[in-house]
Amino acid sequence: MPSHDILIIGAGLAGQRAALAAAQTGSSVAIMSKVHPVRSHSVAAAGGINAAINVADDWRSHAYDTVKGSDFLGDQDAIEIMCSQAPAEVMHLEHIGVTFHRNESGELDLRAFGGASMKRTAYVADITGQAILHVLYEQLMKHHETVDRYEEWFTTSLLQDDDGRCCGVVARDVRTGRMETFHAKNTILACGGAGQAYRPTTNALIVTGDGIAQAYRLGAPLMDMEMVQYHPTTLAENGILITEGARGEGAVLLNSEGERFMEKYAPNKMELASRDVVSRAEQTEILEGRGVGAERSGIWLDITKVPRKRTLEALREIVNIGKDFAGVDITREPIMIQPGQHYIMGGVKTDVNGATSIEGLYAAGEVACVSVHGGNRLGANSLLDTLIFGRRAGEHAAARAATIGMPRATDAQLREDSATIDAIIARDRNGSPTRPRRVSEIKQELGDTMNKYVAVYRDQGGLEQALEIVKRLQEESKSAYIDDRGTVFNQDVLGALELGYMLDCAQATVVAAIERKESRGAQFRTDFPKRNDEQWLKHIDISINGKDPARPGGGGVGGPQISYSPVTITQWQPEERKY
């Protein structure tokens, strides 16, 4: 049975950064991912990474912009840590090989990004996430003797000992179907968000809320789950992302009347207001009949304002996306976009070291909620979040590992998970009296439901309807059938497990959205259209009782419970947000 001081689940930026940081301390480290690390969704981050590295800039300005972007729901102690450590982190990336673009003096070039009071986004063309991810993987290849890699291993459960501590995982080798128990003094979840609970979404097919749901099922509280970011510029039919870098370089948004409508909503920052503001503005234009396209459901993004040479050099990827996925030459004509699900600010609640409420369990990146993004994440802060808190989780977990012995776990969970998988594979499409559905059908209905009721504009009626549907889908998923009966690369059965994770995440999101009776950041309630600091300047935590039999209602029973935690305010008092 493999044993490690630190086992990291997920090999995107947060996971790889955590692995490298932990390995530096001499701990025994392993990183596990259901896909090859370079396929992780961090690869899709396009625009850049924020850091106050310009000598005229100050990390406090970055922190204030982040606090304001979060609609004052972000925890300011965590934001201060992230922003003050950002310049050193970006320099570290530069030193290990990231090919950041330079200015004429050979220093890192910076581009403008949404919600930022000055240019502070370092970038590699519009493949920044890919460049950083691949460079971190280069480092993992360099340190292959000190970091074990379990590539294409799917984690099925987190393990918990009798004292409630997390002591490893059960995982399935995707290639062979073999199940294995992994012991670990510390487990770090770094396996991303849950965007596939929406349809369409900019998120990759692998982003299915695995880690969030697994921690939730163990009893860890989820925080800020109602805060779901809609990105202002996604392709209408398939949700593919057009980077905010386009607007950073000067592209503008136009409605059907050719009007640069952001003048009405954010007269100062215009297209570079925070994402929640821009997406809402677009949605308002569309709802009021000024959308473009046959169904008037889109908005023009006009990139022709950017000099062609600059576009080809710095926005190469979206030139290709326009050509390949929309048939548009963005250097010569506008492209039709619309707001689309992009990011979840919420996740497993952690402290500033990535520690969750469960001893031995850490989380970093989109799976976690520190909370540095609060009600709305600024563009180019997500890469920063993954790296800063990935590193901190790795370091902190390594320090903890030095003080404790290796826990021993039994194979009980492995047997349970194997039985679950066998049962899913054996499900009969005709056998049940309730006429079972395909897993793919349920997933599609979930995505459509979330995108209809839990999107840019929300209200009580719609949210309650969404909750009903999610609950019904949870029931239906228990008998949902698949086709693949094999063990080698049975993606079908993993899809059934992922569906369960997405449904858990969706339920937590809807419950929290119903609970928050105000409008803040990404949560806009048409029935409560104002921000209400008096009652709602607080985080909503959602938890279930988990598996701890000692706790009342333990053993995984009982619906979501709601509690609150305070927002940490250090130096910036809430004020009205204007862009």
Partner 1 sequence: MAEINGSPPGAAEKFTLRLRRFDPESGEAPYWDEHTVELEPHRSVLEGILQAKALTDGSIGIRCSCRAAICGSCGVRINGEPGLACHTHLDHARASAAADGVIEVEPMGNMPVIKDLIVDMDAVHWKKVQRVTPWLIAKQPVPEREYLVEKEAMVDVTQSMACIQCGACVSDCLAMEVDPGFIGPAALAKAYRFVGDPRDDQQDIRLTDLAEDPQGIFDCTHCFKCVEACPKGVNPMGQIMRLRRIAIGDQKIVDKNNGERHEAAFTTLVKDFGLLNEAELLPRSYGGNSWFGKFHPAAGKVLLSLLGVTVKAVMRGKMSPKLAIFGHKLPKQDLDAVKKIYEKIESREERYELNLYITGYDEPDETPVPVAAAASSGEESPAAPDTEGSAN
Residue where the block lists tokens 């988990």: 546
**What does the DSSP assignment read for 51-104?**
---STT--HHHHHHHHHHHTTT-S-HHHHHHHHHHHHHHHHHHHHHT----B-T
Q: How far is the CB of 144 from partner 1 (least distance, A)?
A: 8
Q: Residue 85 phi/psi, 5° resolution?
A: -90, -5
Span 265-294, contacts to partner 1 by CB under 8 A: 292-294
CA 55 to chain CA centroid, Å, is 31
Q: Which is nearer to partner 1, 97 or 549 (CB)?
A: 97
Q: How far is the CB of 528 from partner 1 (least distance, A)?
A: 35
Span 161-200, contacts to partner 1 by CB under 8 A: 175
- Burial annotation 78-112 (CB, 10 A radius, 16+ → b, else e): bbbbbbbbbbebbeebeeeebebbeeeeeebbbbb
Two tokens, residue 108? 């890192």
β-strand partners of 355? 362
| Residue 422 within binding range of partner 1, rule CB under 8 A | no
| 3-class DSSP assignment, residue 471 | helix
Q: How far apart are CA 392 and CA 520, in angstroms?
A: 29
Q: How far is the CB of 334 from partner 1 (least distance, A)?
A: 7
The dihedral through the CA atoms of 384, 117, 341, 565 has a sign that is positive
Q: Which of 308, 427, 429, 538 binds partner 1 (CB under 8 A)?
A: 308
Q: Which is nearer to partner 1, 87 or 521 (CB)?
A: 87
| Residue 259 within binding range of partner 1, rule CB under 8 A | no
| Residue 336 within binding range of partner 1, rule CB under 8 A | yes
| Residue 551 within binding range of partner 1, rule CB under 8 A | no
One symbol per residue from 361 to 400: x for binding partner 1 (CB under 8 A), - otherwise; what is it?
----------------------------------------
Q: Which is nearer to partner 1, 12 or 390 (CB)?
A: 12
Span 6-45, contacts to partner 1 by CB under 8 A: 35-36, 38-41, 43-44
| Residue 118 within binding range of partner 1, rule CB under 8 A | no
Per CB under 8 A, the segment of 24-32, 319-327, 358-366, 534-542 that binds partner 1 is 319-327
Q: Which of 295, 428, 534, 576 binds partner 1 (CB under 8 A)?
A: 295
| Residue 445 within binding range of partner 1, rule CB under 8 A | no
Residue type, 403: T
DSSP 8-state assignment for residue 284? H
Q: How far apart are CA 549 and CA 551, in angstroms?
A: 5
With beta carbons less than 8 A apart as the criterion, state whether 187 and 361 touch. yes
Per CB under 8 A, the segment of 154-162, 379-387, 479-487, 521-529 that binds partner 1 is 479-487
| Residue 151 within binding range of partner 1, rule CB under 8 A | yes
Residues whose CB is less than 8 angstroms from the CB of residue 407 and which lie 6 or more positions away in sequence, other chains included? 161, 165, 167, 168, 183, 184, 185, 360
Q: How far apart are CA 322 and CA 306, in angstroms?
A: 15
Residues whose CB is less than 8 angstroms from the CB of residue 206 and which lie 6 or more positions away in sequence, other chains included? 34, 35, 39, 40, 41, 192, 196
Size of interface with partner 1, in residues (CB under 8 A): 88
Q: Which of 56, 162, 257, 309 binds partner 1 (CB under 8 A)?
A: 309
Span 125-144, contacts to partner 1 by CB under 8 A: 125, 127, 130-131, 134-135, 138-139, 141-142, 144
Q: Which is nearer to partner 1, 40 or 509 (CB)?
A: 40
Q: Which is nearer to partner 1, 206 or 363 (CB)?
A: 206
Q: Which of 17, 111, 217, 275 is catalytic?
A: 275
Q: Which is nearer to partner 1, 177 or 558 (CB)?
A: 177
One symbol per residue from 224 to 243: x for binding partner 1 (CB under 8 A), - otherwise; what is it?
-------------xx-xx--
Q: How far is the CB of 384 from partner 1 (least distance, A)?
A: 17
Q: Which of 317, 476, 541, 548 binds partner 1 (CB under 8 A)?
A: 317
Span 56-75, contacts to partner 1 by CB under 8 A: none
Residues whose CB is less than 8 angstroms from the CB of residue 178 and which lie 6 or more positions away in sequence, other chains included? 172
| Residue 106 within binding range of partner 1, rule CB under 8 A | yes
DSSP 8-state assignment for residue 322? I
Q: How far is the CB of 152 from partner 1 (least distance, A)?
A: 9
| Residue 483 within binding range of partner 1, rule CB under 8 A | yes
Q: How far apart are CA 194 and CA 430, in angstroms?
A: 31
For the chain, the 3-state helix, strand and coil shares in percent, each to the nearest 5, are 35, 20, 45
| Residue 405 within binding range of partner 1, rule CB under 8 A | no
Q: Residue 444 phi/psi, 5° resolution?
A: -65, -40
Q: How far is the CB of 238 from partner 1 (least distance, A)?
A: 7
Q: Which of 26, 163, 205, 267 binds partner 1 (CB under 8 A)?
A: 205
Span 82-101, contacts to partner 1 by CB under 8 A: 91, 94-97, 99-101
Q: Residue 219 phi/psi, 5° resolution?
A: 110, 0
Q: Which is nearer to partner 1, 57 or 548 (CB)?
A: 57
Q: Which of 1, 26, 259, 316 binds partner 1 (CB under 8 A)?
A: 316
Please confirm, yes or no, whether 392 is among the known catalytic residues.
no
Q: Which of 168, 375, 495, 560 binds partner 1 (CB under 8 A)?
A: 495
Q: Which of 447, 448, 543 is nearest to 223 (CA)?
A: 543
Helices (H), 252-406: 262-265, 275-287, 308-314, 316-321, 382-401
With beta carbons less than 8 A apart as the criterion, state whether 458 and 386 touch. no
Q: How far is the CB of 333 from partner 1 (least distance, A)?
A: 5
Residue where the block lists tokens 């979060």: 70
Residues whose CB is less than 8 angstroms from the CB of residue 64 and which lie 6 or more positions away in sequence, other chains included? 117, 572
Q: How far is the CB of 69 from partner 1 (least distance, A)?
A: 25
Per CB under 8 A, the segment of 262-270, 318-326, 403-411, 508-516 that binds partner 1 is 318-326
| Residue 104 within binding range of partner 1, rule CB under 8 A | yes
| Residue 305 within binding range of partner 1, rule CB under 8 A | yes
Residues designated catalytic: 275
